[in-house]
Amino acid sequence: MSSEAAAYGYLRELVFGLSHNVLDPSRDYLFDTRLARLLRNQGMNCLQDLVVHLRTRYDPALERAVAEAMTINETSFFRDTRPFELLRTTLLPRLIEARRLTRTLRFWSAACSTGQEAYSLAMLMLEHFPMLVNWDIRIDGTDISHEVVERAQAGRYHRIEVNRGLPARLLVRYFDHTGEDWVVKPAVRALCNFRQADLGGEYLPFRRASDRFDIILLRNVMLYFSQETRRRLLGGLHALLPQDGVLFLGTSEQPADPSLWTASLEGGACHYRPVRQGARE
Ligand SMILES: C[S@@+](CC[C@H](N)C(=O)[O-])C[C@H]1O[C@@H](n2cnc3c(N)ncnc32)[C@H](O)[C@@H]1O
């Protein structure tokens, strides 16, 4: 095996070990493009230099930087629009009626990237359900990448980012304008909590008996995972949703074990509810 092939193999394993992202050898060229800046910053000439460094020194920060550079962080406000429309018109009114005694709603934007999905949910709630002002509403956003979580926490977006998917009416109502950037207003920010967490490991970030979510969005991340990681992750999410809870996946994603989920297609958006033992038809 050439030293180049060995370097790619080492990097693929490193990324899998840290983020559970499976990188196909046919796309090894991505290491060259995505790690170019990191190599420059480290004063290294090529990937082999990086691999020699990682093999011979204990450098967890650099390992993490490699894994983070290889994740795809593509996202946008109200991405795919239809899940948000379905939430607004149908799913949230039903859930609000069902939770009228506890007055609590919990959302999880799992693999939230830079936070646009979580803030879209927050704006949806403020804009269309102002009568819930005294409810306990919480939107958790988690991502494996420290860098994107910090950006989500800051809630600061460039003009180009807010031009993707965010209606102008919501932009002026829920953001403050500073130079080229727009910053989410405190009322939107207050509904959202962001933290770093791995979805691919043995334990999910929410695992207390009291942890329950009404809506989970797990979109456009499972496609990077192995079948085994998908099965484990979806099994964990199943336990966090009550029978009337809802899971959204990305448009090209499906549950690893369909027998655990009931799929419904409404308003052009597919969503899933957990099947409970004894409740199977
Ligand atoms: C393509 S973005 C999707 C963002 C958002 N869910 C959406 O659909 O717009 C994928 C995100 O998954 C995150 N990710 C990748 N592997 C992960 C893991 N093992 N645990 C948690 N997040 C992960 C990446 O850092 C990235 O921000």
21 lines ligand 1 (CB under 6 A): yes
> Which H or E element spans position 156?
strand 156-158
* Ligand 1 centroid, distance to 73 Cα (angstroms): 6
Amino acid at 132: L
**Counting atoms of ligand 1 from 1, which one is nearest the CA of 217?**
6
Cα distance from N-terminal residue to C-terminal residue, the chain: 54
143 lines ligand 1 (CB under 6 A): yes
pLDDT tens per residue, the chain (281 residues)? 788 899 999 999 999 999 999 999 999 999 999 999 999 999 999 999 999 999 999 999 999 999 999 999 999 999 999 999 999 999 999 999 999 999 999 999 999 999 999 999 999 999 999 999 999 999 999 999 999 999 999 999 999 999 999 999 999 999 999 999 999 999 999 999 999 999 999 999 998 878 999 999 999 999 999 999 999 999 999 999 999 999 999 999 999 888 999 999 998 999 999 998 765 43
* CB 182 within 8 Å of CB 156: yes
For a substitution probing ligand 1, which of 23, 71, 81 has the most ligand atoms within 8 Å of its CB?
71
**Counting atoms of ligand 1 from 1, which one is nearest the CA of 148?**
27
**Counting atoms of ligand 1 from 1, which one is nearest the CA of 74?**
1
* Ligand 1 centroid, distance to 223 Cα (angstroms): 10
Fold of the domain spanning 82-274 = Rossmann fold (3.40.50)
180 lines ligand 1 (CB under 6 A): no
152 lines ligand 1 (CB under 6 A): no
Say what the pLDDT of residue 251 is. Answer: 93
Instruction: Give pLDDT tens digits for 227-281.
Output: 999 999 999 999 999 999 999 999 999 998 889 999 999 989 999 999 987 654 3
> Domain residue spans in the chain?
3-69, 82-274
* CB 223 within 8 Å of CB 256: no
72 lines ligand 1 (CB under 6 A): yes
Cα distance between residue 21 and residue 75, in whole Å: 17
The runs of H, that is alpha helices, within 47-115 are: 47-56, 60-69, 82-86, 92-98
Q: Cα angle vertex 171, ends 120, 160, to 5°? A: 90
The model's pTM: 0.95
The residue contributing the CA closest to ligand 1 atom 26 is 73
Cα distance between residue 121 and residue 123, in whole Å: 5
**Counting atoms of ligand 1 from 1, which one is nearest the CA of 109?**
6
Say what the pLDDT of residue 281 is. Answer: 39
220 lines ligand 1 (CB under 6 A): yes
* Ligand 1 centroid, distance to 62 Cα (angstroms): 20
